Amino acid sequence: MKSYKEYIITAEPFNVEILSSILWELNIDGINEEVNCLKVFAQDENVTTTSIQDELKHLQENKLLREFSVQENFIVEKNWNEEWEKSREVVHVSDKIVIKPTFKVYEAKVNEIVLTLDPKMSFGTGDHQTTRICLMFIEMYLKSGMKVLDAGSGTAILGITAAKLGAESVIAFDIDDWCYDNGIENTQLNNVVDKVEIRKCELNDIKENDFDMIIANIQKNILLELIDGFKYRIKTNGILILSGLLEIDKNAIVSRYSELGFKEVDYLKMDEWIGIVFKK
């Protein structure tokens, strides 16, 4: 059987969401949350104690961590899907939006929109704060008939939600092969294939430029790189929803987007995570 490297990570404070978001930037195979530590599993030889420490030092420099430790072990291969499924539950994002994995049974209440999701290894299960923030903003700002772009779509949960809430058409794109396949599967599960088009590409490959709403749940540095592309592709008075951000990222994002003609119209914070709504 294959051997995996296991890294046991302790930190003070022990904020699972922030730690996980940083660690998923590496090419890891899985994360298990324990009572007082995270166990990270990886086969990639580029994932090392040093590479993990470098990521955690960034949090330390931004005063989100006081101290941490990383211990390396070797273990035998596990069934990651089985381990992951044990921790999945039905997620109530709001009074209207409910997300359930394919292997859970849930009976929708009146006026609820139930999203059936098989996230596998793609980001966007609905239980992370940034995903919830985006979903809540979509519910608040989406109007029937809108044309929507879901940038860095992962599971395509945001684009699928937009379609179920009344968007006329959605393009959801990601550069990852796994996200492309998973996005197609999830549009089929939710019967929105006719409204949501999944693409494997970068923003520059999107030729359409008249979107009423653009949604991007991506980390700060990527959002700063994509600003020109967003500006070109969104209509005047169009709604831009950004998340994937920590509270410490807000000033830099608002400052840069304001310089290019976007006005902040809404803001939401969950724990250390934030989302911002701009209007062009």
Q: What pLDDT band is residue 189 in, cutting at 50, 70 and 90?
A: very high
Q: What is the mean pLDDT of the chain?
A: 89
Q: Are 228 and 95 within one domain?
A: yes
Range of the domain at 209: 88-279
Residue 280 has pLDDT above 60, yes or no: yes
Q: Are 77 and 97 within one domain?
A: no
Q: What pLDDT band is residue 272 in, cutting at 50, 70 and 90?
A: confident
Into how many domains does the chain fold? Answer: 2
> Sign of the CA dihedral 38, 39, 44, 46?
positive
Q: Are 157 and 66 within one domain?
A: no
Six token digits for residue 254: 């608002």
Report percent pLDDT > 70 for the chain: 91
**More confident: 81 or 12:** 12
Q: What pLDDT band is residue 80 in, cutting at 50, 70 and 90?
A: low
Q: Are 231 and 272 within one domain?
A: yes
pLDDT value at position 81? 56
Q: What pLDDT band is residue 76 in, cutting at 50, 70 and 90?
A: low
Q: Are 99 and 11 within one domain?
A: no
The set of residues, in sequence order, having a beta carbon less than 8 Å from that of 68 and lying 6+ positions away, is 9, 10, 11, 12, 53, 56, 60
Six token digits for residue 193: 């294939």
Q: Are 41 and 112 within one domain?
A: no
Choose one of 83, 107, 130: the last residue of a domain: 83
At 85, which amino acid appears?
E
Q: Are 36 and 112 within one domain?
A: no
**More confident: 272 or 241:** 241
Task: Give the CATH number for residue 31.
Answer: 3.30.70.1280
Q: Are 42 and 13 within one domain?
A: yes
pTM of the predicted model over 0.95: no
Q: Are 18 and 105 within one domain?
A: no
Place of tokens 């019967």: 191
pLDDT value at position 36? 80
**Which helix or strand (DSSP H or E) is residue 148 part of?**
strand 147-151
Q: Are 157 and 28 within one domain?
A: no
Q: What pLDDT band is residue 226 in, cutting at 50, 70 and 90?
A: very high
Q: Are 57 and 187 within one domain?
A: no
Reported as a single tens digit per residue, the pLDDT across 132-186 is 999 999 999 999 999 999 999 989 999 999 999 999 999 999 998 888 998 999 9
Reported as a single tens digit per residue, the pLDDT across 82-125 is 655 666 678 899 999 999 988 888 888 888 999 998 766 545 56
pLDDT value at position 9? 94
Choose one of 29, 54, 83: the last residue of a domain: 83
**Beta-ladder partners of 123:** none
Q: Are 16 and 108 within one domain?
A: no
pLDDT value at position 108? 84
